[in-house]
């Protein structure tokens, strides 16, 4: 025997869980229910599996499942922290004297105010519900009610192309603030319930000091040449040093938290994700893909499937005849405590938009289930309340996005957009890349089968002919909208270009051309053309002459890109570049002033109307716009 490994363990329950985790996304895809959160179906299937497959499991098998579910829960909290863009929150910190107008425009301050209002409303709602049923701890129950779910909010905003809009950013920051403050309050409350006001309460504060020390230490290590070299050499090898480092950080915080108290572990796992989120600028996208694969591919399904397996509908009998009244009032309360604070957005976005945003952040999922599990273990909520909370998590995940889309329907042609006529693979890739920039792209495709394929990819599309006059009218083009023509047919491209230029007098038209003789006819129309042959030759030239630059811009597109930002802030008119606190992930590579281009230096003075060519991350672009626009 080479290794002292025992094979007597029962792998049957792992097979059942792995089968459910694999089958769930396939089921949703086949039934075309992709907008339903996978975890909801995992909970339901976990409940079914417990009744039909887990009846005869040994105690040892349940110990293994519970351990994997616990680690999945910790990994979920870690990813919740990693999901929060720390740079975005830091960029929202007020830099000037706070006035009423500035307060309402600042997403961080509004998010804090909304959380404060929500927790007050939540406490009164919890107190009211305690008159109907027995709630052991009204305060803890109110904390459960005030949670939200960034994991539900982000996909909805992304699907509507609102993730980088001002309104979208307000919603995201509000949800992130609710997540962070909820977890902190949960931790302190759970510790006090279990241990009372003990001096060890200060240990939780020490956890934040550890967080700060690690933040400083890892940032210093990143700048050490030897460490950077090793990190680069080992990151793509079998060692996967960055992923191993991420797991090490999780375990360090979890173990430290465990020594303080079991109820602090939730905060520790969350802080480990927040720590990595604050440092992952260049690698953020790639790291997220790998860690998401580990978490949602293996560990996290165990947590949600076991939540379903442990769900006990019989526990609801404790409410007797008050069950329906309690569940109805509970659901209404969960919605109201988010909708009322959202009225702070009314002045900026109007009543309809503000209320719709309130309903969207009313969705709950992982955090409310985790908080309920901790509360059940502490004895501050009953098994019946725990079961009710799981039901509410499922309902709000369905109801909140639906109400949001109903109150504030998605108008495809509304706002700034790029129209792409033609559904070729090039057009689809362009639409995806524009979406990554936070820009709305609408594809026009005549072929029904191809149109359905595009829709299945989650892109905006219209089934129509680009040569039809009514199709162009329905798009409600504005002078700022770009129209890209990529049908794959040169003659048809030219026909559509003429229609747009002559009938609609549209200026911003870009058309693909593969035949040199057609270029003159496009020039007569005053239309910008893309010569495919020339572009291909340029790409090959760049691979030969400047391969590093080419790969940096193409392969790291999701992390870095170049953006043109116009200086409109009069406060910086006449300022030197070195006087402006640009984001650390933004590099100013060139300035265009009228028809001239020049390379900037620290002593270069800026003027209103200058167009700054900035290389960096999306977060850096956002902060740069807030700074100079």
Domains detected in the chain: 12-407 (1.20.1530.20), 418-539 (3.40.50.720), 559-628 (3.30.70.1450)
pLDDT of residue 628: 79
Where b means 16+ CB within 10 Å and e means fewer, 71-83 reads bbbbbbbbbbbbb
pLDDT of residue 224: 65
- Highest mean pLDDT out of 36-45, 135-144, 268-277, 542-551: 135-144
pLDDT of residue 282: 45
Type and span of the H or E element at 563: strand 561-566
Q: What is the mean pLDDT of the chain?
A: 80
pLDDT average, residue stretch 23-49: 81
Region of 486 please: left (phi>0), alpha (psi -120 to 50) or beta. Answer: beta
pLDDT of residue 330: 92
Give, to the nearest 10 degrees, the angle between helix 138-145 and helix 166-195: 160
Q: Which of 95-99, 467-471, 495-499, 573-577 has the lowest mean pLDDT?
A: 95-99
pLDDT average, residue stretch 415-434: 82
List the strands of the sheet with 596-598, edge to edge.
561-566, 611-616, 586-593, 596-598
pLDDT average, residue stretch 301-310: 86
**Position 540 pLDDT exceeds 60:** yes
* Beta carbons of 373 and 386 less than 8 angstroms apart: yes
pLDDT of residue 142: 92
Alpha-carbon distance 373 to 379, whole Å? 10
Q: How confident is the model at residue 336 (pLDDT cuts 50, 70, 90)?
A: very high
Q: How confident is the model at residue 451 (pLDDT cuts 50, 70, 90)?
A: confident
Type and span of the H or E element at 596: strand 596-598
Sign of CA dihedral 197, 200, 201, 202: positive
Q: What is the pTM of this model?
A: 0.69
pLDDT average, residue stretch 530-538: 76
Q: How confident is the model at residue 2 (pLDDT cuts 50, 70, 90)?
A: very low
Please name which of 96, 173, 214 lies closest in space to residue 619, comparing C-alpha atoms: 173
């Amino acid at each position: 025997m080479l290794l002292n490994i025992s094979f007597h363990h029962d792998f049957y329950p792992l097979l059942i869980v792995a089968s459910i985790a694999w089958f769930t996304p396939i089921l949703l895809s086949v039934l075309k229910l992709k907008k339903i959160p996978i975890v909801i179906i995992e909970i339901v299937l976990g409940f079914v599996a417990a009744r039909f497959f887990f009846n005869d499991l040994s105690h040892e098998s349940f110990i293994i499942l519970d351990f994997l579910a616990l680690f999945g829960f910790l990994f979920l909290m870690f990813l919740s922290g990693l999901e929060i863009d720390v740079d975005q929150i830091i960029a929202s910190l007020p830099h000037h004297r706070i006035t009423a107008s500035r307060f309402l425009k600042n997403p961080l301050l509004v998010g804090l105010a909304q959380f404060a209002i929500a927790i007050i409303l939540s406490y009164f709602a919890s107190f009211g519900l305690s008159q109907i049923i027995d709630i052991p701890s009204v305060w803890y129950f109110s904390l459960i009610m005030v949670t939200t779910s960034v994991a539900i909010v982000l996909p909805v905003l992304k699907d509507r192309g609102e993730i980088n809009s001002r309104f979208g950013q307000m919603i995201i920051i509000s949800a992130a603030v609710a997540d962070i403050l909820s977890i902190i309050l949960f931790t302190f409350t759970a510790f006090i319930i279990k241990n009372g006001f003990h001096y060890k309460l200060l240990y939780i504060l020490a956890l934040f000091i550890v967080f700060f020390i690690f933040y400083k230490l890892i940032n210093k290590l990143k700048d050490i040449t030897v460490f950077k070299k090793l990190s680069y050499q080992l990151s793509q090898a079998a060692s996967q040093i960055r992923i191993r480092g991420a797991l090490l950080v999780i375990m360090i915080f979890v173990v430290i938290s465990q020594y303080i108290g079991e109820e602090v572990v939730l905060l520790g796992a969350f802080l480990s994700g927040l720590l990595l989120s604050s440092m992952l600028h260049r690698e953020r996208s790639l790291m997220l893909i790998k860690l998401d694969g580990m978490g949602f591919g293996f560990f996290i399904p165990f947590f949600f499937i076991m939540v379903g397996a442990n769900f006990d509908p019989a526990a609801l009998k404790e409410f007797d005849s008050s069950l329906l009244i309690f569940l109805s009032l509970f659901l209404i309360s969960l919605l109201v405590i988010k909708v009322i604070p959202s009225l702070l957005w009314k002045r900026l976005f109007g009543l309809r938009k503000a209320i719709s945003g309130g309903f969207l952040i009313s969705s709950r999922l992982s955090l409310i289930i985790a908080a309920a599990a901790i509360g059940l273990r502490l004895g501050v909520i009953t098994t019946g309340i725990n079961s009710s909370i799981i039901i509410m998590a499922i309902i709000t995940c369905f109801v909140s996005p639906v109400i949001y889309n109903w109150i504030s329907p998605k108008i495809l042609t509304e706002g700034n957009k790029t129209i792409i006529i033609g559904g070729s693979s090039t057009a689809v890739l362009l639409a995806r890349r524009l979406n990554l920039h936070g820009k709305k792209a609408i594809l026009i495709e005549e072929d029904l089968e191809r149109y359905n394929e595009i829709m299945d990819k989650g892109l905006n599309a219209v089934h129509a002919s680009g040569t039809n006059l009514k199709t162009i009218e329905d798009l409600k083009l504005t002078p700022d909208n770009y129209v890209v023509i990529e049908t794959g047919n040169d003659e048809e491209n030219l026909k559509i270009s003429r229609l747009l230029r002559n009938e609609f007098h549209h200026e911003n038209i870009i058309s693909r051309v593969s035949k040199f003789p057609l270029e003159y006819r496009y020039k007569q129309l005053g239309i910008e053309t893309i010569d495919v042959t020339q572009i291909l030759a340029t790409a090959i030239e760049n691979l030969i002459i400047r391969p590093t630059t080419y790969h940096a811009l193409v392969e790291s597109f999701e992390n870095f890109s170049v953006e043109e930002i116009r200086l409109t802030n009069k406060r910086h008119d006449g300022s030197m570049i070195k006087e402006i606190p640009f984001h650390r992930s933004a590099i100013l590579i060139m300035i265009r002033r009228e028809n001239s281009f020049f390379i900037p230096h620290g002593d270069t003075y800026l003027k209103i109307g200058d167009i700054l060519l900035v290389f960096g991350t999306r977060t850096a672009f956002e902060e740069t716009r807030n700074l100079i626009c």
